[in-house]
Structure 1
Amino acid sequence: MSQSTTTTGGTTLSIATGLRGRLTARHLPRRLTQLYVGLTLYGISSALLVRGGLGLEPWGVLHQGLAERTGLTIGVVSIIVGAAVLLLWVPLRQRPGLGTVSNVFVIGVAMDGTLAMVPEVQAFAVRIPLLALGIVLNGVATGLYIAARFGPGPRDGLMTGLHRLTGRSIRLVRTAIEIAVVATGFLLGGSVGVGTVLYALAIGPLAQFFLRRFAVPEEDASSTVVASGTPEQAILRP
C-alpha cells in the first residue's frame, strides 16, 4: 500500500491506493492533461478569489501583499515565491517532480491571464458568486493535479521537509507556516476576510470529493480511497 497525502485548507487528506499494480505508460496522456488543466484551473480560481475581494487563500494573501508592495503582478509574485520556496528544498533534500516545477510557473501565468480578462467588481451580488466559484473551482483543480501524481507543489515540499527536519507533526508544521504566511501577507496589505475562512473550511472536503473523481486507475488496482493520511507521506499541493 502506498499513499499520497495532501493538506488543503486545514484538512490532511491522502490518496490511499492499492498498489499491487502501477501506473503505466498508457495513462501518461491522461495524467499530463490532468496536471496542466488542474494547475491552470488553480490559477484561474485564485484569480477569481482576488476579484471577489472577500479574502484569499493563505498563500494568496502573501502573494497579494507582496504584489502591493513591489508593483509586480500577483502572478509574477506567485512564480517568484514558488521558485524561492523550491530553492529551500535543496538543504531539506526534497526531490522535485514535473508537477513541482510546472506548479511554479503555470499557476502564476494562469492567474495573471485571468485577472487581465476579468474586471474588478464592487457589487456583492457579483463578488459573492465569484468567491463561491473560486473556492469550488479550486477544489476541482486540486483533485485534478494531485491525482495526476507528478510530484508535490513547492510549498508542500517545504512542509514535509521541515517535518522531517524538526520531527514535529505535519499538522503543526503546516499550521505554523500558514499562520506566518497569512500574518505576513496581511501586514503587507493582502486580503484576509470571510473568503479566507470559507476557503479553509471548504477546500478539504472539496479536494477529497474531486480526488475520488479524478483518480487515475492503476494496473491491477482494485480500489481508490481518500482518507486521513500519515505525516510521512508526500504532500501534493500548490
Structure 2
Amino acid sequence: MSTNLPGRLVRLLSGLALFGASVALMVRADLGLGSWDVLHQGLAARTGLPMGVLVNGVAVAVLLLWIPLRQRPGAGTVANVVLVGLALDAVLALLPPVGSLAVRIPLLLAGILLNGVATALYLGARLGPGPRDGLMTGLAGLGLPIGRARTSIELVVLAAGWLLGGTVGPGTVLYAVAIGPLAQFLIPRLAAPAPGRAVPTGVTPPCPA
C-alpha cells in the first residue's frame, strides 16, 4: 500500500462528495442529465423516493452484477455506493428549484465543471472503480470491446431513464461531450502521486457514481 494513503483517501472522499453535489446542480438546472442520472431521476419520479437513495440503490444492484463477472470491489467502490447519493440528497435539500434560464444555464455549466473535478479526484485516488465502471470493465473482460460495452450500457440506461420520466436535454449532450476532455485534462493535475506508476491521462471517466 502506498505511503500516500491519507492523501488518496482525501481525494477519494472529496471527489465522491463533489460528484454528488455536481449532479444536484445539474438536476436543479433541469436542462438534461448524464445517462445514469436520467435513470436515477426517472426512478425517483416513479417511486417517490429521494434521488440520492436511488443512486445508492442502483449502485448496490449493479455491484451484484459484478459477481458473475468476477470483478473485485475496492475501498473506493464501497465509498462510492454510500457517499454519492448522500451528497446528492444533501445538496438538493439546500438548493431550491429555480425557474430562470439565466440561472439554470450557469448551474448546468458549474455542475459539469464540478463533475470533471470530482471525477479527476475520485479516479486519481486509485482506490477501486465505481460499481458502474466495474460493470463496463467486466463486460470487456468477457470479450466485448470496452468502447462498445460503455456505449451499449449508456444507451440502454439513457433510454430506460427517459421512458421512466428522467430529464433528457441539451445538458445531456453537453455532459457527454465535455466530461471526457475535462477529466483527461484534470486527472494528471489532481491525482495523488504513486511511486513507480504514471498518472493516466486518457481515462474514460465514470458515470458516478
Shared fold (TM-score greater than 0.5)?
yes
Q: After superposition, what is the alpha-carbon deviation per residue over 1:28-74, rounded to whole angstroms, capped at 9, x for unaligned?
A: 11100000000000000000000000000110000000000001010
Matched, 1:90 2:67: yes
Partner Cα distance (1:103, 1:225) in 2: 20
Partner of residue 24, structure 1: 2
Hey, which of these two has a bigger chunk of helix by percent?
2
- Does the 8 Å CA contact 1:159/1:170 hold for their aligned counterparts? yes
Alignment RMSD (CA, Å): 1.6
Distance 2:207 2:23 in 1: 17
DSSP 3-state at the match of 1:94: coil
Does the Cα contact within 8 Å between 2:22 and 2:110 map onto a contact in 1?
Answer: yes
Corresponding residue for residue 192 of structure 1: 168
> In 2 relative to 1, CA 47–93 (structure 1 residues): closer, same or farther, beyond 3 Å?
same
Shift of 1:220: 5.2
Q: Give the Å deviation of 1:228.
A: 6.4
Structure 2 counterpart of 1:145:
122
Aligned residues of 1:146 and 1:236 also touching (Cα < 8 A): no
How far did residue 162 of structure 1 move?
A: 1.3
Q: Summarize deviations over 1:183-230 as a string: whole Å, max 9, x none.
A: 000000000000000000000011011101112223356x5451368x
In the alignment, structure 1 residue 169 sits paired with structure 2 residue 145: yes
Aligned equivalent of 1:75, options 52, 62, 77 = 52
Q: In the superposition, relative to structure 1, how do residues 220 and 71 fare at CA in structure 2: closer, same or farther (>3 Å)? A: closer
What does residue 226 of structure 1 align with?
201
Q: Does 1:136 align with 2:102?
A: no
Report the residue type matching 1:133 in the other structure. Answer: A
Judged with a 3 Å threshold, the aligned counterparts in structure 2 of structure 1 residues 68 and 140 are, in CA distance, closer, same or farther, namely same
Structure 2 CA distance, aligned partners of 1:116 and 1:208? 31
Change (3 A) 1:151 1:31: same
Q: Cα offset for 1:105?
A: 1.1
Given that residues 52 and 131 in structure 1 are in contact (C-alpha distance below 8 angstroms), is that contact kept between their aligned partners in structure 2? yes
d(CA) in 1 for partners of 2:88, 2:164: 20
> Is residue 212–residue 226 contact of structure 1 (8 Å, CA) maintained in 2?
yes
Taking a change above 3 Å as real, the CA distance of residues 63 and 225 of structure 1, as seen in their structure-2 partners, is closer
Q: TM-score, normalised by structure 1?
A: 0.84
Q: Show structure 2 runs of 5+ residues with no match.
A: none
**What does residue 28 of structure 2 align with?**
51
Runs of 4+ in 1 over 2 A off after TM superposition: 218-221, 235-238
User: Quick check: which has more Rg, 1 or 2?
Assistant: 1
The aligned counterpart of 1:66 is 43
How far is 1:168 from its partner?
A: 1.5
Residue among 183, 186, 189 paired with 1:213: 189
Q: Once the 2 structures are TM-superposed, how far is the Cα of residue 75 of structure 1 from its aligned partner?
A: 0.2
Query: Which consecutive unaligned segments of at least 5 residues does structure 1 have?
Result: 1-22, 230-234
Residue type of the alignment partner of 1:213: R
Q: Alignment partner for residue 102 of structure 1, among 62, 79, 101?
A: 79
Secondary structure of 2:201 counterpart: strand
